[in-house]
Structure 1
Amino acid sequence: MKNDLPEIAALEGLLREQRAAYLRAPYPSWDQRAAHLKALRDVLLDNRDALADAMHADFGNRAKEEILLAEFLLVKEEVDGALRHGRRWMTAQPRATNKWLLPARAKIVPQPLGVVGIIVPWNYPVLLAAGPLISALTAGNRAIVKMSELTPRTSMLFEQLIAQTFARDHIAVVNGDATLAAAFSAQPFDHLLFTGSTKVGHDVMRAAAGHLTPVTLELGGKSPAIVGPNARFDHAVDSIIAGKTLNAGQTCIAPDYVLVPRGKEQAFIERARVRMARLYPDFTHNRDYTSIISPRHFARLQRLADEAREQGAQLHALTDSMADASTRRFPLVAVTQAPDASTLMQEEIFGPLLPVVPYDSIDDAIRYVNARPRPLSLYLYEEDKAAIARVTRETIAGGMCVNETLMHLACESLPFGGVGASGMGAYHGYEGFVTFSKMKPVFTQARFNARGLIAPPYGKRVRALLALMMRH
Structure 2
Amino acid sequence: MTEFVEALKQSHIAMYGDIKGNADYTSLVDDVQHQRFNELLEDAKQKGATITQCLPDGEGRKTPLYVATNLNPNMRICQEEIFGPLLPVHGYRDIDDVIEYITERPRPLACYLFSHDKELREHVLEQTHSGGVTINDWGWHVLNHSVPFGGVGNSGIGNYHGEEGFRELSHARSVLQMRGWFPIQLFSPPYGTWVQKLVVRVFVGKPDLSLNKRS
Q: What residue in structure 2 maps to residue 462 of structure 1?
A: 206
Q: What residue in structure 2 maps to residue 412 of structure 1?
A: 145
Q: Using the alignment, how far apart are the partners of 1:385 and 1:440 within structure 2? A: 45
Counterparts in 2 of 1:266-281, with a 5 A limit? Answer: 266-281=2-17
- Contact kept? 1:415, 1:429, Cα under 8 Å: yes
Q: Secondary structure at the match of 2:89?
A: strand
1:352 Cα deviation after fit: 0.5
- Contact kept? 1:378, 1:397, Cα under 8 Å: yes
- Contact kept? 1:276, 1:318, Cα under 8 Å: yes
1:378 aligns with 2:111: yes
Q: Higher strand proportion, which one?
A: 1
Q: Secondary structure at the match of 2:134?
A: strand
1:334 aligns with 2:70: no
Q: What residue in structure 2 maps to residue 344 of structure 1?
A: 77
Q: Using the alignment, how far apart are the partners of 1:341 and 1:363 within structure 2? A: 23
Q: Which has the higher contact order (CA 8 A, sep 6+)?
A: 1
1:304 aligns with 2:48: no
Q: What residue in structure 2 maps to residue 96 of structure 1?
A: none
1:296 Cα deviation after fit: 1.2
- Contact kept? 1:416, 1:428, Cα under 8 Å: yes
Match of 2:171 among 423, 437, 449: 437
Evaluate the alpha carbon distance shift between residue 444 and residue 300 of structure 1 in structure 2; reply closer, same or farther with a 3 A threshold: same
1:444 Cα deviation after fit: 10
- Contact kept? 1:453, 1:462, Cα under 8 Å: no
Counterparts in 2 of 1:351-430, with a 5 A limit? Answer: 351-430=84-163
Paired letter, 1:397: S
Q: Using the alignment, how far apart are the partners of 1:453 and 1:389 within structure 2? A: 59
If you compute each CA radius of gyration, which structure gives the higher value, 1 or 2? 2
Q: Using the alignment, how far apart are the partners of 1:461 and 1:270 within structure 2? A: 78
Q: Higher helix proportion, which one?
A: 1
Q: Using the alignment, how far apart are the partners of 1:396 and 1:388 within structure 2? A: 13
1:383 Cα deviation after fit: 1.1
TM, length-normalised to structure 1: 0.38
Q: What residue in structure 1 maps to residue 20 of structure 2?
A: 284
1:269 Cα deviation after fit: 1.0
What do residues 208-263 of structure 1 show as CA deviations (whole Å, max 9, x unaligned)? xxxxxxxxxxxxxxxxxxxxxxxxxxxxxxxxxxxxxxxxxxxxxxxxxxxxxxxx
Q: Using the alignment, how far apart are the partners of 1:290 and 1:298 within structure 2? A: 13
Q: Using the alignment, how far apart are the partners of 2:127 and 2:140 within structure 1? A: 21
1:287 Cα deviation after fit: 2.1
1:437 Cα deviation after fit: 3.4
Q: What residue in structure 2 maps to residue 118 of structure 1?
A: none
1:391 Cα deviation after fit: 1.2
TM, length-normalised to structure 2: 0.80
1:293 Cα deviation after fit: 1.1
Evaluate the alpha carbon distance shift between residue 327 and residue 454 of structure 1 in structure 2; reply closer, same or farther with a 3 A threshold: farther
Paired letter, 2:206: V
Q: Secondary structure at the match of 1:438?
A: coil
- Contact kept? 1:401, 1:407, Cα under 8 Å: yes
- Contact kept? 1:454, 1:462, Cα under 8 Å: no
5+ residue gaps, structure 1: 1-264, 468-472
- Contact kept? 1:334, 1:353, Cα under 8 Å: yes
1:454 Cα deviation after fit: 8.6
Counterparts in 2 of 1:10-409, with a 5 A limit? Answer: 265-319=1-55, 321-322=56-57, 327-409=60-142
Q: What residue in structure 2 maps to residue 231 of structure 1?
A: none
Q: Secondary structure at the match of 2:90?
A: strand
Q: Secondary structure at the match of 1:426?
A: coil
1:461 Cα deviation after fit: 4.0
1:442 Cα deviation after fit: 7.2
Q: Secondary structure at the match of 2:91?
A: strand
5+ residue gaps, structure 2: 183-195
Q: What residue in structure 2 maps to residue 260 of structure 1?
A: none
Q: Secondary structure at the match of 2:20?
A: helix
Q: Using the alignment, how far apart are the partners of 1:355 and 1:301 within structure 2? A: 13
Q: Using the alignment, how far apart are the partners of 2:130 and 2:198 within structure 1? A: 47
1:330 Cα deviation after fit: 0.9
- Contact kept? 1:269, 1:318, Cα under 8 Å: no
Q: Using the alignment, how far apart are the partners of 1:370 and 1:431 within structure 2? A: 27
Evaluate the alpha carbon distance shift between residue 442 and residue 275 of structure 1 in structure 2; reply closer, same or farther with a 3 A threshold: farther
What do residues 141-184 of structure 1 show as CA deviations (whole Å, max 9, x unaligned)? xxxxxxxxxxxxxxxxxxxxxxxxxxxxxxxxxxxxxxxxxxxx
1:394 Cα deviation after fit: 1.3
Equivalent pairs, count: 193
